[in-house]
Amino acid sequence: MPFQDMCNNHIPEVDKNQLLILAGQMEAILQPYLRNLSPEENTKVGVISEKNKLFVNKDFDYHNSQPALDSPDVDWAEFEADYSSRQFYELGAARLIALAKAMTETRRLHDYDNYHNALIDYKHAQYKDSTQAGLGYDSKVEDLGQFFTGGGAVAEPTSDNP
């Protein structure tokens, strides 16, 4: 017997709706603060390396512990605001990425279940078509068979990945 129904923990509709509402609220709250960079801006701004992040952190530590050494040419209030915003975006993005990864992997389990159950149903239709012709299974086998190499004659797909 095939390994099926790997994931049978389903989110109730009311929770799905609430999650979509919350996602919309997050988007609405963040929208005024977020920017999508153009390709030119992306090239100009780039990404600072981990070493450069450590450099910024160390400079921020100096600013906090020895403010007398601060350059008067730096707007330190803006520096602190940028630093705080950067930390918030980094933490928020990491949490959303982890959530998105977990959602994607859970979706893959449901994909697996659907795909393998659809194969079982297709094989059942093939069996019924061969043993009880004229009940409509012939059109189902023909219609579903288009997804397999060689039309409806092959019961297994070309790939095991749904």
The helices-and-strands tally (H runs, E runs) of the chain is 5, 0
For the entire predicted model, the pTM comes to 0.73
Q: Spell out the per-residue pLDDT of the chain, length 162, in tens.
A: 456 677 788 999 999 999 999 999 999 999 999 999 999 999 999 899 999 999 999 999 999 999 999 999 999 999 999 999 999 999 999 999 999 999 999 999 999 999 999 999 999 999 999 998 888 899 999 999 999 976 444 445 555 555
Alpha helices, H only, 31-75: 39-45, 50-65
Which among 103, 107, 92, 124 has a CA at the least distance from the CA of 27?
A: 92
